[in-house]
Chains A and B, each alone.
Chain A
Amino acid sequence: MNGTYFIELFLGGLTRGSIYALIALGYTMVYGIIQLINFAHGEIYMIGAFTALIVSSVLSFTGMSPVLIFIIAAIAAVVWAAGYGMTMEKIAYKPLRNAPRLSALISAIGMSLFLQNYVLLAQTSDFQPFPDLIPDLAFLKPIETIMNTTQFIILVTTAVVMVVFTLLIRYTKMGKAMRATAQDMVMAQLVGININKVIMFTFLLGSATAAIGGVLISSHIGQINYYIGFLAGIKAFVAAVLGGIGSIPGAVLGGFVLGLTESFGTGYISSDYEDVFAFAILIIILIFRPSGLLGKTTRKKV
């Protein structure tokens, strides 16, 4: 067994895992608060990537430095995707707040199909090249074969997002309101929390992190089309379930477990079975730990 190859796969797995984790956060938060699997979440990630592509294409005519373009494009993507997320909640989920859960789920699938086809119409089904805007960092030169700059940026950004996220949930007023709403929605209202605001903020936050994931992975892979959100969304959903849906640390852990499994699986066994590994591990976890790695086993009171 080759040591460098192992490290390469490991870092590759972490990179994938970061992206899955970023998307899975949105799934798990929304589920934690309104018990809805937001199947349109992958589409938000795709829209984030497209927004960055459009903004950076426009800005490339201005002759700005690539780094600046990348940063502006990323911010635009985050803002725009957050807007999409909030609008989606308002028109597709809010009217169904008191409806049976299945109705909201169907609405989510409808939203997903709508967004995919809307982007298909606007952007065609061809893969669009995503500009390589991140310049190579000099200090990564010696280990270029193992980890390139984009991977490095992905890992660092994800780490920063996770830390900010944790602080936000743990210490801010909105974070406390989110935790309270997730635990008991009626009681949260009775202590004066406006749950509409909390739910909207949850979608905003989830969409923003998904968009960050979208921008990062697109600059890593270099091309995007209207369909990238589907598989990424499903994989992130797997990550969220793997970690225990509703649990934020669980989503992060699930993302990394999934990314590493895929990376090692494709590296040591066969790359033909890339997606098989993801779903095989989901099935195994669901058999032995139905509530996920960090999920709480709910005991029903009799």
Chain B
Amino acid sequence: MNNFFIKKFFYGDIPEEKGGGSDYQTKHDSTSWPLWEVFIRSKQGLDHKHAGSLHAADAQMAIENARDVYTRRMEGVSIWVVESKYITASNPEEAGELYEPAADKIYRHPTFYQLPDEVNHM
């Protein structure tokens, strides 16, 4: 029997010890189904967005469960599912080295251009 421990973060990747998120244990045995992440595209032309997660025995069932759980109110036109264990997440404890160096590099934002008047909504 394989036991996968998945560190799963919710609500903006706040680790549990800091007040949120939870550890998910996905047991691959006869009594529990693996966890799947669901991505829904809401309209033609827009990208798929993470909608949530659910349990299912296989990919086909995950699509159907997602259809029932996440598209009941016409939210979607396309569904992607991927088993949660295949997602690798960045570690929130490494946030400092990963994200903070970008903070003082304002020249990376295209805010120094003079835009012609004709260009709107930038």
Q: Do A and B make up one complex?
A: no
